[in-house]
Amino acid sequence: MSSINVWTQWDDLSAPAGITLLSPENFPLDTSDLSQIDFYVPLYMGGAKALSYAAQMPNLKTLQMLYAGYDDALAFKRAGLTICNAPVHAASTAELAVGLAIASRRGFSFFFQNQREGVWESRVFPSLTDSKIGIIGYGSIGKKIAKNLSGFEVSVTAFTQSGRDGSLTIDQLDAHLPELDIIILILPLSDSSRHLFNAKRLAAMKDGALLINVARGPVVETDALIKELNSGRIFAALDVTDPEPLPAGHPLWSAKNLLLVPHVGGNSDAFEPRGRALVESQLQLLAAGAPLEHVVAQG
């Protein structure tokens, strides 16, 4: 059997016979013959540039992403190409979502600012306890968020397009929206989810409610969100924005009632060992001629 050429950022993976590992050390993408690559794992946190190399790989059979979101990879879908995602970020992203919920509800930003200014001021903020929480999207990360929240005294309702796994369908969301204290967005970006939270849905949120976005920035209509935040009526905690990265001077930076982090949901030290293990598992399947896991598109 001829060797299968696999490009990944790690040159020391445990790879089965029949797999040749290529990496930035021995096969720099800008100066090498990309037609040799059969299986491509874009550099983690490499952004659009890392993904764009896939278009220069005419013999590519598998595009293996290192994160759960795959909407940007679908632009490279073509005949003979399998696209896989990776649920290795579930634990870190879910942990961040719950952390944002606690930090936002309990006023951490207010107290951090007072700490910097040397001000001792007590203030009552809403509690996570007894909150009604809606999780929009119920894949591996959504389920992990729900599991993490199970240790708190909250009620959780999940929403999906299909209503799978005991969730409600998204077309039922509007009926529940005015009752939810916290809404956590963790669904893929698609034509149907783009601007899912538009001006109308944002206006339907209850006064004082919190919107958390750990999905994709365009799931929320940015201008409408800024307007609601600056009115002081609702709160938001964003790991993702539209546009992204958020440019200097953008009005989101100065919006009221906002906690903002720079798309770090999955970027923790838990990523690398989980990412390596997933790629190694996929290579074992590849070498054995078995179906790959986590397939999200088949050209």
Helix (H) or strand (E) holding 258: strand 258-260
> Which of 297, 296, 249, 246 is closest to 86 using CA atoms?
296
Q: How confident is the model at residue 49 (pLDDT cuts 50, 70, 90)?
A: very high
pLDDT (tens digit, 9 = 90+) per residue, 137-148?
999 899 999 999
Is residue 97 domain-shared with residue 188, that is, in the same domain? yes
How many domains, in total, are found in the chain?
2
Identified catalytic residue from 201, 216, 274, 294: 216
**pLDDT (average), residues 10-16:** 94
Identified catalytic residue from 176, 263, 272, 280: 263
Is residue 146 domain-shared with residue 234, that is, in the same domain? yes
Is residue 218 domain-shared with residue 276, that is, in the same domain? no
Is residue 66 domain-shared with residue 132, that is, in the same domain? no
pLDDT (tens digit, 9 = 90+) per residue, 175-226?
999 999 999 999 989 899 999 999 999 999 999 999 999 999 999 999 999 9
Identified catalytic residue from 106, 233, 244, 280: 244
Is residue 109 domain-shared with residue 254, that is, in the same domain? yes
- Give the pLDDT score at 169: 97
- Give the pLDDT score at 299: 78
DSSP code string of 88-138 = GGHHHHHHHHHHHHHHHHTTHHHHHHHHHHT---------STT-EEEEE--
Is residue 204 domain-shared with residue 99, that is, in the same domain? yes
pLDDT (tens digit, 9 = 90+) per residue, 150-159?
999 999 999 9
Is residue 255 domain-shared with residue 274, that is, in the same domain? no
Catalytic, 116? Answer no
- Give the pLDDT score at 38: 97
Check which CATH number belongs to the domain holding 57 and give it: 3.40.50.720
- Give the pLDDT score at 215: 95
**pLDDT (average), residues 161-181:** 96
Reading the block at residue 154, the tokens are 């909250």
> Which of 134, 139, 6, 157 is closest to 69 using CA atoms?
139
- Give the pLDDT score at 47: 84
Catalytic, 263? Answer yes
What mean pLDDT is reported for the chain? Answer: 95
Residue ranges making up the domain that contains 37: 4-88+269-298
42 pLDDT more than 90:
yes
Is residue 57 domain-shared with residue 119, that is, in the same domain? no
Is residue 192 domain-shared with residue 284, that is, in the same domain? no
Is residue 154 domain-shared with residue 136, that is, in the same domain? yes
- Give the pLDDT score at 241: 98
Is residue 33 domain-shared with residue 108, that is, in the same domain? no
Is residue 109 domain-shared with residue 234, that is, in the same domain? yes
